[in-house]
């Protein structure tokens, strides 16, 4: 059975929307896509580094559209692991675990990998929104579109803009 490593933030959890919401709360207006496109979150949102260290930032993120049903179907056909570089933000570990249990109850604790670097991940495929995770990966890669990666040339990574596109490819 083929193994798929699926990123959490920006792929399953809509952390981009969290940045927009926290930023709007602090600055009184919602930034436009044009203001943030192509910029890392820490640059696009002046307090971005603070936000990811804020209690409940990860716990209260919304779910990326269509990800629950499609990942559930993929989980029946593939060996799925949700892989998150969570140890950079230690307070996020419990938040991310609880978030996954709530929104993706079909993902067992054995299918959750919290790590520092994803270079240790061995799978056949990886779905992620960051080049730093996809570039060293040896298998098939899918770049999940997010504002921070839209202006970059994905090279060998196949860009996917939604979970529907992932379903069309893998199901």
Q: Report strand pairing: 140-144 vs 79-84.
A: unpaired
User: Three-state DSSP class for 116?
Assistant: coil
**Is 9 a known active-site residue?**
yes
Sign of the CA dihedral running 97, 58, 92, 70: positive
Helices and strands, counts by H and E, the chain = 8, 6
- E-state strands within 8-86: 79-84
8 Å CB contact between 17 and 62? yes
Residues identified as active-site: 7, 9
């Amino acid at each position: 059975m083929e193994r798929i490593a699926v990123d959490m933030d920006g792929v399953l959890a809509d952390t981009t929307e969290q940045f927009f919401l926290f930023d709007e709360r602090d600055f009184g207006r919602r930034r436009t896509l044009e203001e943030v496109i192509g910029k890392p979150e820490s640059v696009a949102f002046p307090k971005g580094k603070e936000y990811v260290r804020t209690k409940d930032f990860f716990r209260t993120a919304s779910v990326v559209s269509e990800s629950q049903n499609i990942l559930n179907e993929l989980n029946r056909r593939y060996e799925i692991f949700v892989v998150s570089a969570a140890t950079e933000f230690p307070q996020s570990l419990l938040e991310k675990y609880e978030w996954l249990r709530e929104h993706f109850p079909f993902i067992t604790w054995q299918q959750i990998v919290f790590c520092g670097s994803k270079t240790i991940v061995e799978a056949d495929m990886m779905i992620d929104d960051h080049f730093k995770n996809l570039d060293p990966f040896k298998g098939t890669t899918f770049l999940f579109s997010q504002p921070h990666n839209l202006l970059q040339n994905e090279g060998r990574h196949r860009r996917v803009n939604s979970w529907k596109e992932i379903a069309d490819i893998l199901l």
